[in-house]
Amino acid sequence: MLKLTILLLLVTATSFTGGYYFANSKHKSNAEKKVTGIGGIFFKCKDPKTLKEWYSKNLGLNIDQYGTNFEWRYTDNKERKGFLLWAPFKETTTYFKPSEKDFMINYRVNDLDYLLKQLQGAGISPVDTVEKVSYGKFVHLMDPEGNKIELWEPNDEEYEKITNGKVTH
């Protein structure tokens, strides 16, 4: 009986310790380290300035030099803000290259470095190097259909500073 009790205590302690380690480790499950939301919608158009003015006048978007930022709140922390950038680009932009598509979607991620290791393990390589700026880290990939996508590990606190309060709620 004593051996059984000791065995049960060891199993319980091991389970608790293992669960605590995995729950608090930097590299949680794969599902938690992939896309967490949309960070931006970028598209080509003939005249970005006129289009931005139209959206501002007719739909009330609060436009800046890039487009408009939509502000939202995290469900698990209502005090924490997140942003989605809507941005028209001149139709001649090369920013979407090597894609020939007229749009690009920016996806928010939690841990870009870890996700890149996972992707590289699956044979998926970025088309450029990770760019680090005050408001986050960025890198670009091509999906199987030839769409260029942008991965962004945001620093929302710094991003909010560069929007100068110009957001569309």
Digit-by-digit pLDDT tens for the chain (169 residues) are 444 334 333 333 434 334 433 344 444 554 455 899 999 999 999 999 999 999 999 999 999 989 999 999 988 889 989 999 999 999 999 999 999 999 999 999 999 999 999 999 999 999 999 999 999 999 999 999 999 999 999 999 999 888 876 666 5
Domain residue spans of the chain: 32-163
Beta carbons of 142 and 99 less than 8 angstroms apart: yes
User: Is 32-163 in CATH node 2.40.50.140?
Assistant: no
Among 141, 129, 135, 128, which residue's Cα sits nearest to residue 157? 135
DSSP classification of residue 116:
H
Q: To which residue do tokens 């380690």 refer?
A: 21
Beta carbons of 59 and 105 less than 8 angstroms apart: no
DSSP classification of residue 32:
G
Q: Say if pTM beats, i.e. exceeds, 0.85.
A: no
